[in-house]
Amino acid sequence: MDARPFPWSGFVLALLSCGILAIVGVEFIYVLAVLLVWAGSLWLVGSTPPPPQHTKNESAFSRDRMGELFEHSETPVVITERERVIIANLSARKLLGSHILGQDVRMALRQPEAVRLIERGEDGSAIVRGLARRNDIWRINRQMLGGELSIVEFVSKTAEADISRAHTDFVANASHELRTPLASIIGYVETLREDVDNLDPKMADRFLGTIQRESRRLQDLVSDLMSLSRIEAEKHDLPEDRIEFGALVERAARDGAGSDRAGRIDFEAKGQFFVRGDAQQLEQLVRNLIDNGLKYGADDQVVTVRVHPKGENRVRLTVTDKGEGIPAEHIPHLTRRFYRTDPGRSRASGGTGLGLAIVKHIVERHRGRLDIESTPGEGTRVTVTLPIEAADGAE
């Protein structure tokens, strides 16, 4: 630290003051004493101040304050002194264990990339895989603080990698689903064009029927993809319309069944239930559930649709079919995009593999809950529970 500039103006003022004392008759010895004392005090002011002395208690106090600063941060943070962990916040202790306090940070991390970062002894970062769990990904940032102290920050990249992987899988699956009907359409069209004059009319009609079926399947797939994209874009926007849920469910169930399957719907609503929702999306939810129930339920059995209260503040919609049911190992995956328990049967019945994924996102946007129960050989029941909107608008 540089010395402070000498206060020459104060020294000149001291000389003038002492001169005035001498003129008015003060003895020289007293004037000289005043000058020396005044000059000495000015010299002390201009000198370099001594460095602050920190006691052991003050050092411990500053460490405690530093620990309190990071304790409740969601980002795991570790502070080291001479590579030994002296502070680890709550998130870091959950990630690496409470035993890391007092340990060499290299032993606490046990990852080659992380150890190389620490041993470099300078600022830097490293990507580490499998730090706490097998497939997790972390970026470790190290910042030197001086005085043999350093701060190590752990930034999770697992969710980011999962999202990227999900997007890649989605694009691959969507491309495959789109390519299959397109290949069928192109193949039949090429066959028709190659032998258009000699083709048997019955065979031509069969080819055209296949082209029509695959075109509709392609249309349904594109429509579901657009619906899913729109629902995901709006998932953080709470719906604003107040809707009578029972009437909406009955109307959408009849529309979803169509005139040829309307007789297989057994509907019942116990009371009126107003929900805050998006009518178009709720109707799509009901149609998807009804369509699944009619497709995979036995042809000679009804699909029961019930709208009942659940407690005082929620309403429950259940759609139950009597079909082959779904094995338990498939249940957790049913709401994944393009997931099918029986791909051949699903495609043959016109399914896109997106119906329950759309249902899940609609339920989440409406702050509800989706449950699926199934017993092989007996059937499947899907339950959607939504919050009720009170008459005065308060839940």
What is 241-387's CATH topology?
A: Heat Shock Protein 90 (3.30.565)
| Cβ–Cβ under 8 Å, residues 290 and 257 | yes
Say which CATH superfamily domain 61-156 falls into. Answer: PAS domain (3.30.450.20)
Amino acid identity of residue 283, one-letter, is E
Q: Comparing 61-156 with 241-387, is the CATH topology the same?
A: no
Considering the entire predicted model, what is its pTM?
A: 0.58
Domain spanning 161-233 has what CATH number?
1.10.287.130
Domain spans of the chain? 8-46, 61-156, 161-233, 241-387
Q: What is the layout of strands, in order, in the sheet containing 303-310?
A: 265-269, 303-310, 314-321, 379-387, 369-375
pLDDT tens, residue order, the chain (395 aa): 455 555 666 666 666 766 776 676 666 676 676 666 666 665 555 555 555 555 555 555 566 676 777 788 888 998 888 888 888 899 888 888 888 888 888 888 888 888 888 888 888 888 888 887 777 888 999 988 877 888 899 998 887 777 777 677 777 777 777 888 888 889 888 888 887 777 788 888 888 888 898 888 888 888 888 888 888 888 788 888 899 999 999 999 998 888 888 888 999 988 889 999 999 999 999 999 998 898 888 888 899 999 999 988 999 999 999 988 888 888 998 888 888 777 666 666 666 788 899 999 999 999 999 999 998 988 999 999 999 986 554 44
What lies within 8 Å, CB to CB, of 249 at 6+ separation is 267, 269, 286, 305, 307, 317
